[in-house]
Amino acid sequence: MDFITTITTMSCMIKKEKGSAKKSIFMDYAASTPVSSVSLKAFMGALQYFANPQALHTQGLKAMQLLDKARRDIAQFLVVKSSEIIFTSGGTESNNLALAGHLLYLEKSGVNIKEKSIIISAIEHPSVREVLAPFEDKGMRVVRVNPTIAGEIRPDAVADMVDESTVLVSIALVNSEIGTVQPIHAIVKKIREKEEQLRKDGKNISIAIHTDASQGMYENMEPHGLGVDILTLDAGKIYAPRGVGALYVRTGIKISPVLLGGSQEGGLRPGTENTALASAFARACLDAKSKKEGEHARLESVRSAMISQIQDIFGDDVVVNGEAKKQSPHILNISIKDIDSEYVAMYMDQRGVALSTKSACLERSDSNVSSVVSALAQDEDSAWRATNTLRFSFGITTTPEHGEVAVQLLKEAVDTYKSFS
């Protein structure tokens, strides 16, 4: 019996034992989306162009043509120049290239990094927070702006932190844990006003502004509309295969490579480009753009109904984390008093509903505390809220009926936990 046959047989046995009639409900779309049919079709079609796009022979040139088309399509999606798109392996690498790349360029240009600072929010993704640690070790100052209790980063709060040492600002468009949509356009406007004021005072200042838009599928992600210089995209969050992402870098903004070994992607991202993944990514972006408005309204309806049902059941024992003025429709984060969130998540998973307790990048870490919710709950409730978080995130397969099933299972899980504890 070969390997594939063995795995298939084992899979069937497991399904029979567990009862394959039970339909699973996936509510962890913020961690990863399935590959859409149009993206898969683009991927499969591009696999025939397997040659290295950098090769000078005919097959290599055909691969490069397909790669260029993917770049143009993503540029069309963002309404930018195709020369401003760099393919990466995903959102994490894009964030590393954006932040470390710009800071490395400044260092190579003779800038004393010890005299400079960067501004981020206190609720940024680990791929933003952690990449700055080596620069902090060198003496660079990292200024963290706290959110409001509703999870919003106020434009004035960011501008107040800007001074002549500021070289870079990075604030995510949509928070991956609580779904708050940040007012990036207003933040950028305030930063530029402060920057202009400092210049008039004789200060030599130039600030690059980056946003991680990986979770922004249902929002305006166009860099010119947002006003940002650098923007991160992740294919795995937009119904394309994982393993590919993109970084928009406005013409005139300088970054240095963080990986070495080749001249691909304008010398900024070495390694043979994956034509098939890039093609699938580009097709998914265009498809998502065409469906954005309808999906936004549909998922907002699911989210609102779940909030109402959960509040009816749990009353004052539940808090919706991050209820700012504007929320992404695909993320709902709650905290419930006197529960073990991991127990509840596992209980629901065993009964067919997949959700998470915090960002998937931290799900298997030793800490059971959400740093994002900790930053929100600035009162006596902070301890239990940060440890008792549950994140439901929605997507193309989510229906109102799924929401109702999830809420009933949530009640069952909490009641079961409390009866045992």
Are 362 and 397 within one domain? yes
| Alpha-carbon distances, residue 91 vs 88, 247, 289, 335 (angstroms) | 8, 8, 19, 27
322-339 burial, b at 16+ Cβ within 10 Å, e below that, comes to: bbbeebbbbbbbbbbeeb
**What percent of the chain lies above the pLDDT cut of 70?**
91
pLDDT of residue 378: 66
**For the chain, how many residues are written?**
421
CATH number at residue 218: 3.40.640.10
**Closest Cα partner for 23 from 411, 408, 414, 397?**
397
Kindly indicate the confidence band of residue 388, based on its pLDDT and cuts at 50, 70 and 90: very high
| 7 within domain boundaries | no
CA 349 – CA 356 distance, rounded (Å): 10
| Structure confidence by residue, pLDDT tens digits, 178-233 | 999 999 999 999 999 999 999 999 999 999 999 999 999 999 999 999 999 999 99
| Structure confidence by residue, pLDDT tens digits, 140-152 | 999 999 999 999 9
335-359: average pLDDT? 93
pLDDT for residue 401 is more than 90: yes
54-69: average pLDDT? 94
| Structure confidence by residue, pLDDT tens digits, 161-172 | 999 999 999 999
**Closest Cα partner for 370 from 385, 381, 349, 354?**
385
Kindly indicate the confidence band of residue 367, based on its pLDDT and cuts at 50, 70 and 90: low
pLDDT for residue 60 is more than 60: yes
Are 194 and 257 within one domain? yes
User: Average model confidence (pLDDT) for the chain?
Assistant: 91
pLDDT for residue 112 is more than 70: yes
Are 280 and 394 within one domain? no
pLDDT for residue 13 is more than 50: no
Count the helix, strand and coil residues of the chain and give each as a percent rounded to the nearest 5: 50, 15, 40
Give Cα 142 to chain centroid, integer Å: 21
Which position has the higher pLDDT, 361 or 303? 303
pLDDT of residue 369: 83
**Closest Cα partner for 213 from 312, 344, 74?**
74
Backbone angles phi, psi at 217, to 5 degrees: -55, -30
CB 306 within 8 A of CB 408: no
Are 45 and 25 within one domain? no
321-327: average pLDDT? 86
- Provide the residue range defining the domain that includes 324: 21-35+291-420
| 336 within domain boundaries | yes
89-112: average pLDDT? 97
Are 255 and 359 within one domain? no
Which position has the higher pLDDT, 324 or 369? 369
Are 171 and 307 within one domain? no
Kindly indicate the confidence band of residue 15, based on its pLDDT and cuts at 50, 70 and 90: very low
Domain count, the chain: 2
pTM, 2 dp: 0.91
74-99: average pLDDT? 97
pLDDT of residue 18: 40
Of 286, 315, 344, at which residue does a domain stop?
A: 286
Which position has the higher pLDDT, 278 or 6? 278
Kindly indicate the confidence band of residue 20, based on its pLDDT and cuts at 50, 70 and 90: very low
Burial (Cβ within 10 Å: 0-12, 13-18, ≥19) of residue 376: buried
Are 173 and 272 within one domain? yes
Of 222, 253, 286, at which residue does a domain stop?
A: 286
Kindly indicate the confidence band of residue 324, based on its pLDDT and cuts at 50, 70 and 90: confident
Are 300 and 198 within one domain? no
Are 342 and 407 within one domain? yes
pLDDT of residue 338: 93
118-130: average pLDDT? 95
pLDDT of residue 419: 92
pLDDT of residue 323: 82
CA 302 – CA 33 distance, rounded (Å): 18
